Amino acid sequence: MRYDEFLAKVRERGEYADAAEAERVTHLVLGILAQRLHPDEAEDLAAQLPGPLAATLISAAQGGAGGFGSREFLARVATGAGATARTAEWDASAVLCTVTEAVSGGELNDVLTQLPSGYAPLFGRAGLGG
């Protein structure tokens, strides 16, 4: 999937006012996700996403995998976006459901295996996860 296609899907799914808002939210959510993944997995995910998104994942993953759950993930998204917890969940789902469409099923399974089950619904995969 091309970068502009990815952002268009996020914009539509998240009902954002413009492409710039979709782009800002996308980079925020993926950057926080990368902080939760093992750096090798972040690189594997990055390999299946468009260049600017790949760069965000690789850059944010440099600190190593953090051990935070989905609530902390959403709190970080809310803080980064200056939003409520509910809006953060909306933002995260808009981006992560688009990731689900953009990557292979095997890669998605690899990502979900590294995350507690509370993350799966954010990817549109309720009931799945590691």
Q: pLDDT tens for residues 42-66?
A: 999 999 999 999 999 999 998 777 8
Tokens of 85: 């917890």
Residue 125's pLDDT is 85
Residue 12 has pLDDT above 90, yes or no: yes
Considering the chain, what percentage of its residues have pLDDT values greater than 70?
97
pLDDT(75) > 70? yes
Mean pLDDT of 56-82: 92
For residue 129, is pLDDT > 50? Answer: no
* CA within 13 Å, CB half, 7: 18
Q: Could you tell me the pLDDT band of residue 130, with boundaries at 50, 70 and 90?
A: very low
Instruction: Return the pLDDT at 53.
Output: 97
Cα-based angle 56, 93, 4 (whole degrees, multiple of 5): 50
User: Is pLDDT at 127 greater than 60 in this prediction?
Assistant: no
- Check residue 65 and give its pLDDT: 76
110 contacts 97 by C-beta, under 8 angstroms: no
Q: Which residues lie below 8 Å from residue 60, measured CB to CB, with a gap of 6+?
A: 30, 31, 32, 34, 35, 42
Give me the half-sphere count of Cα atoms (radius 13 Å) on the Cβ side of residue 69: 4
Determine the pLDDT at residue 67: 84
What is the overall mean pLDDT for the chain?
A: 93
